C-alpha cells in the first residue's frame, strides 16, 4: 500500500523566469519541511512520524514527498492504512496548505482573521469547535487549528516559510499548493495578503496569549461499579486502571481513599478482575478559557471505595465493608 503523498508546492511570479536567490529558496523549503513535521508531532503525538523529501518538479515548482515513517516489520506487513494517509492530509488541511472537502477554516484563515479583526473572545461552541469573536465578525475553527495558533514554534516556522517572499521586490506573488493527481479537490492559493499576515502574526504572540484565561477544573461525583484491571499493592494511589461493566474501555484513576490504601498495603484486601468495587468516582474536566484542554481533557479519582463484592464460582459473596 502506498505510504506517501506527493504534495505540490508551486511558486508563481516574475522571479520564476528571472531566477530565485538560493539563499532565499533554501531556508524557505527547509522551514516548510519543519512546519509540516512539527505540526504532525503536535497534532498526532501518538501517531507515526513523517519524513520529507523535496524534489524539483517544474520551473518554480517542487514535489514534496511526505512519507509515513514505519518500522521494518510494518514495512514487511505493508502496514500503512488510509488512516495514516489521512493523517498527512489532515496536517496539510489544518495548516491551510491544501483545501478540504468539508470547507474547514485552517490556520491560514485564522491568521488572516486575527490580522484583519483581532478577536476579544475565544470560546468553545461545540464538539471540536472553537469560536473567535471580534467586534463585528467571528470565525469558527477546529480544535487542531486552535492548538496550532497557540503554538509559538508552529507560528515561527510558518513565518520563516514566507519571510523570503515578503521582501521588497521578491518577485513571488503567489503560491499554489495541491496533492498530485488530486489538484481539483485540494488546490489552494496563498497570495501577498497571506504572506503579510503570516509575517505580522509573529508580533502578536503576547496578544494571542491574553485570549487564554485561567485554567478551571469542573468536578462531577457519581457512584460507579468498577472492576480492577491493574493496581499497586504497596499502597501507591497512582497508576490504577479499571473497567466498567459491559465495557472494554479502561479508566485510569488515582485513589484518594486512605483507609482502602492502608488495607491494600497491609495485605488485608486482595481481589481479582472479577471482583466488583462500588466507588465514589470523581470525574474532573480541565478547561482553559472555557475550552476543554485537548491534551488532558478528563481525569478520574476514586474518592471513596464504598464496597467490594467478591466473586466466587459465579456468586457474589459478602462485602468487606458490610
Give the DSSP per-residue string, 33-68: HHHHHHHHHHH-TTS--EEEEEEE-STTEEEEEEEE
Q: Using the predicted structure, report yes or no on whether residue 76 has a pLDDT greater than 70.
A: no
Give me the mean pLDDT over the 247-260 stretch: 87
pLDDT tens per residue, range 20-33: 776 778 889 999 99
pLDDT of 170 > 50? The answer is: yes
Instruction: Return the pLDDT at 108.
Output: 96
pLDDT at position 109 over 90:
yes
Among 56-60, 112-116, 317-321, the least confident range:
317-321
So what's the pLDDT on residue 82? Answer: 55
Domain 215-319 matching CATH 1.20.1250: the answer reads: no
Domain ranges of the chain: 4-209, 215-319
Burial class from Cβ neighbours inside 10 Å (0-12, 13-18, 19+) for residue 93 reads: buried
Residue-wise DSSP of 136-162: S-EEEEEHHHHHHHT-HHHHHHHHHHH
Mean pLDDT of 100-104: 82
* Eight-state DSSP code of residue 135: S
Average pLDDT over residues 175-187: 94
Mean pLDDT of 276-280: 91
The CA distance from 255 to 230, in Å, is 12
- DSSP label at residue 233: T
Amino acid at each position: 500500500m502506498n505510504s506517501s503523498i506527493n504534495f505540490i508546492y508551486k511558486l508563481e511570479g516574475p522571479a520564476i523566469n528571472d531566477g530565485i536567490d538560493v539563499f532565499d529558496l533554501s531556508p524557505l523549503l527547509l522551514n516548510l519541511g519543519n512546519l509540516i513535521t512539527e505540526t504532525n508531532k503536535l497534532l498526532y503525538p501518538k501517531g507515526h512520524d513523517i519524513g520529507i523529501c523535496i524534489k524539483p518538479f517544474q520551473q518554480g515548482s517542487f514535489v514534496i514527498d511526505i512519507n509515513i515513517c514505519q518500522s521494518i516489520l510494518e514495512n514487511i506487513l505493508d502496514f500503512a492504512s488510509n488512516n495514516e494517509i489521512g493523517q498527512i492530509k489532515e496536517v496539510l488541511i489544518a495548516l491551510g496548505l491544501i483545501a478540504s472537502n468539508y470547507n474547514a477554516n485552517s490556520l491560514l484563515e485564522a491568521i488572516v482573521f486575527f490580522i484583519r479583526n483581532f478577536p476579544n473572545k475565544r470560546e468553545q461552541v461545540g464538539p471540536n469547535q472553537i469560536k473567535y469573536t471580534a467586534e463585528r465578525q467571528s470565525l469558527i475553527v477546529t480544535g487542531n487549528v486552535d492548538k496550532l495558533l497557540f503554538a509559538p514554534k508552529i507560528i515561527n516556522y510558518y513565518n520563516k516559510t514566507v519571510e523570503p517572499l515578503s521582501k521588497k521586490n521578491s518577485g513571488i506573488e503567489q503560491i499554489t499548493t495541491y496533492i498530485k493527481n488530486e489538484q481539483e479537490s485540494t488546490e489552494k492559493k496563498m497570495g501577498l495578503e497571506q504572506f503579510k499576515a503570516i509575517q505580522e502574526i509573529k508580533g502578536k504572540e503576547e496578544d494571542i496569549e491574553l485570549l487564554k484565561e485561567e485554567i478551571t477544573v469542573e468536578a462531577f461525583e457519581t457512584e460507579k461499579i468498577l472492576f480492577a484491571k491493574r493496581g499497586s499493592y504497596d499502597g501507591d494511589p497512582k497508576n490504577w486502571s479499571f473497567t466498567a461493566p459491559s465495557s472494554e474501555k479502561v479508566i485510569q484513576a488515582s485513589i484518594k481513599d486512605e483507609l482502602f490504601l492502608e488495607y491494600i498495603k497491609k495485605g488485608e484486601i486482595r481481589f481479582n478482575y472479577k471482583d466488583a468495587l462500588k466507588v465514589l468516582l470523581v470525574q474532573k474536566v480541565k478547561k482553559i478559557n472555557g475550552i476543554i484542554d485537548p491534551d488532558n481533557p478528563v481525569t478520574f479519582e476514586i474518592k471513596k471505595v464504598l464496597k467490594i463484592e467478591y466473586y466466587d464460582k459465579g456468586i457474589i459473596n459478602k462485602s468487606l465493608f458490610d
